[in-house]
Every structure is written in C-alpha cells, then in structure tokens.
A and B are shown apart, each in its own frame.
Chain A
Amino acid sequence: MSDLHKTPLDALHRELGAKMVPFAGYDMPVQYPAGILKEHLHTREGAALFDVSHMGQAFLKGENAIEAFETLVPGDYQVMAEGKTRYTVLLNDQGGILDDLMATRIEGGLYLVVNAACKDQDFAHIEAGTAGKADLQILTDRALLALQGPKAGDVLARLAPDTEDMKFMNFRVVSIQGIECFVTRSGYTGEDGFEISVPSDQAEDFAKLLLGQPEVEAAGLGSRDSLRLEAGLCLYGHDITTETTPIEADLKWVVNKRRREQGGFPGYDILMSQLNDGTERLRVGILPEGRAPAREGTEVQDTDGNTIGTITSGGFGPSVGGPVAMGYVQTAFAEPGTPVNLIVRGKALAAKVVKMPFTDKSYKT
C-alpha cells in the first residue's frame, strides 16, 4: 500500500473519517462517515466537496498550441474565446477513445484536465503529438477540488464575488483569500458547480475554508460515481475505451462542425462514415424495472433471448430511488422505450431503453 500516491488533502480525509481505497494509483476517499447515499443526496440538494487531485493538470502553451492540440482531438478550439472550456476526447487512429478530458482556452494556449488513470499516457501522447509546436507543462504542484451542487454558486460567490456571473464551462483565475485559484464552472455530477485548482501547499486551507461553509459537506468517489451515472456521463475505462468511438458512445457532439468539414484528427474517416451511415451499436440508458441493480458486464438481451449488448455502468441511483444503468446495444434496439432483458445472476430481469440523464441537470447556462 505504501507505493500509493497521496493527494495534498490526505491528512484531511483521514481527519474527516474517510474510508480510503486505492484508485488509479492513489489512496482516495471512497466515502466519509455519512455514507454514499447521504453524500449523493446532499450533492443534489446543497453543495459537496470532492477531492479530485489525482486527476492530471497541464498547460499546453505556444504560438501553435491550439492547432497542434487539434491534431489529437475532434473538438474545435480555434473558435473558442479565452476563458471557455470544452469537453473532448483524445483519439487513436481507429477513432477509439484514449481518454476524455477538459480543455480550456487560456492566454497563450490551453489548460488541460485529464483522468488520473490515463494521465501518464495522455501527457506522453500529447507531448509526442505536439512536439516542436507547443510546450506541455505538467502541473505537479496543484491540487484539484470539485465543489458541486445547487448551492455551490452561492458558496463560492460568498468567498469570491468574481465567480457569481460565471456560466457553465467558463474559466477564470480568481484570488480567494490570497490563494490563486483556477476556477472552471463545471464538474461531473450533473449539478451546477466548480472545479477549482489550487496550489498543493494551500489545498488543505482552501478545503477547510469550503467545508466551513454551512452548505458544504465532504463527499467521496463513491457518490461521485453514482452522481455521474444518474447524469448519464461516461466513465473512462468503462463506458468509453479505446474500443469505442465517440459516435458509438453517443458523444457525436464532440466532433465539432468545422472539424467534420476539415478533418485533421485521428480516425477522421471512420468517424465520418459512422456519422453518415450510423453505427452497429450505440450507448444508451437502461432502466431496470425491478429493484435489482444491473452492474457493469451484465448481458443485455432482446425479449426473444438474443444477446444484444452489455451494461458498462450500472448501480443504484439514490436520487432516482432505484437501479439505473448505461451500456451498449445493437442500434436497432437503441430507441427509447424498447423493452430489453438484463441477465442478473442467471435471471432475465425486465428493463427498458431510456433517454439519459436519469435526473435533471442543473447547469448554470
């Protein structure tokens, strides 16, 4: 266990009574004493603080940084103004997804946030793909906190009035009690909220400042997972992998208009043919009719007993009050309302294909 990385908030997690688990090479809080259900519901009603410092942060800077970055992703970053953030995916030559990430236009380039489990490969891939055109500066001295929930905006505006008028996917550098924060109005819970990058050596003070606000409770990776699942958001390595394209993953909006016309990113021909002709399978929401959760790997069958797909994320949705799932099915079965069966412990349980999200999003747009 000693070879696990620790985030700058490690001591605080233990002080708060967190249950720590290994995750992506880090010792991370999966839950605090309140438990996953309460942390989840509190995030939907108040504001919750998540430590996501295990994720990778970097600047990609240089005169040609945007053009260089666009050779790796299908997103249009040239049209974006400074201070705007966009979700995108790193692609392989088959159009498969190497990782999903957030990229923000800042002065002189981009600010990137990538998944913890992929960050070493991502940064090596970005560095190799942009060599000679841009400089990748990996930020190893910053922590990342996510403040999520409908009251997150009030909380942050109280501490930093500058953030009040920020809209969803806006980025701003803000000083909060003397701490230089990179604030993005985003998150991955389906709620309004912020991801806030702070210097590692000030992370604990900043977390305590937020936790000292009456609306804010600590929340762990357990509730983060159930929140993003209810919000219909993909988890890398599960719902999207190198074996899935963004078109199959129902993320075709990540291939922006100009890029569809001009190309210049890996897997372009494959993605365009999938956009034009459709795919054999598609990621969909699946709502089990009973109480039993269908976990990742559960076989999906049509009502005649033919295998038509697999669940890639599934569990209990605390806000829904029952099981929720997402997975891939043959496109002929992807229409919302289609009845399917889920094979759970050998039994066929009735379910249906549904539109996601399972809960309403509350982004400030």
Chain B
Amino acid sequence: MSVLFTDDHEWISVDGDVATVGITDYALQQLGDLVFIEVPEAGRTVMQGEEAAVVESVKAASEVYAPVAGDVVDGNGAIADDPAAVSGDTGGDGWFFKIKMSEPSQLDGLKNEAEYKAYVDGLD
C-alpha cells in the first residue's frame, strides 16, 4: 500500500485498484475547526480534479478534489456526522471517500511523501 499526495492537500492511500482519499494535516491546520463535511455517495463517477467532497470550517467552505478518476465506492458517513473525527492520519478513520480507479496511471503525477513535505515547507 502506497500513500501519495496532491498539491491541493489530499492524501491518497492506494490498495490494488482502490484509492482511499483524505485531507492532510497541513490542510487541517489551515482549515481550523471543522463543522460540516459532505462526502460523495457510492456510485458517483468522478473525473480527476473534480470537486468530490466539501469541508466547512467555522469561517469558510473548501472543496476536496478527486485525485484520480473513477467510481466512488464508499463515502465516510462517520465524518459527515462528526467532523471532529477527521485527522490527517493516513491510516486512521478520517478518510473521506474511496474511488475504484479507472485510470491508475494518473497516480504517476502525484507526489510521494518526501515531495509533498518539501512542497508544504515551501508554502507560507
């Protein structure tokens, strides 16, 4: 299982042809207190870069984009009910949705952990 990252601060944990997607610690820090999360329902088809979920903090709404194209196979209803349960931990319960990838080669354009860390260090 490998973990990759996007420039928009999503993490993607890949297991076979299924990608589990969440948001990173950096994203969580930037957002502050989360108050509402909308996750996609199973069966929805998403394009790479398409808005797939919404995170609302006290101040503002932010989009979570699909890092790869495919069919949504699961949305995490638990975080929709309890936004505080989200953590940036890639192995934890705070994932947003799972996608059965239609074009796994899209993973090649994503960052590995070291590349993402260097990218975040260069921000702000």
Contacts and interface: CB of A to CB of B under 8 A. Distances in A.
A180 B38 CA distance: 51
Given A31-B32, A292-B38, A316-B36, A36 B54 contact: no
A292 B33 contact: no
Contact of B36 (A30, A292, A318): A292
Contacts of B58: 36-37, 40, 222, 226, 315-316, 318
B35 interface: yes
B54 A222 contact: no
Contacts of B54: 345
B120 interface: no
Nearest to B30: A19
B36 A295 contact: no
A291 B33 contact: no
A293 B33 contact: no
Contacts of A345: 38, 54
Nearest to B33: A37
B56 interface: yes
A237 interface: no
Interface residues of A, number: 18
Interface in A132-171: none
A35 interface: yes
Interface string A207-242: 000000000000000100110000000000000000
A35 B56 contact: no
A293 B56 contact: yes
Contacts of A293: 35-36, 56, 61
A35 B33 contact: yes
Contacts of A318: 58
A291 B59 contact: no
Contacts of B33: 35-37
A315 B56 CA distance: 9
A109 interface: no
A181 B20 CA distance: 57
24 contacts: A35-B33, A36-B33, A36-B59, A37-B58, A40-B58, A222-B59, A291-B35, A291-B36, A292-B36, A292-B38, A292-B56, A293-B36, A293-B56, A295-B61, A315-B58, A315-B59, A316-B35, A316-B36, A316-B56, A316-B58, A318-B58, A323-B36, A345-B38, A345-B54
Interface of B: 32-33, 35-36, 38, 54, 56-61
Interface of A: 30-31, 35-37, 40, 222, 225-226, 291-293, 295, 315-316, 318, 323, 345
Given A222-B58, A293-B35, A316-B36, 15 more contacts: A35-B33, A36-B32, A36-B33, A37-B35, A291-B36, A292-B36, A292-B56, A293-B36, A293-B61, A295-B60, A295-B61, A316-B35, A316-B56, A318-B58, A345-B54
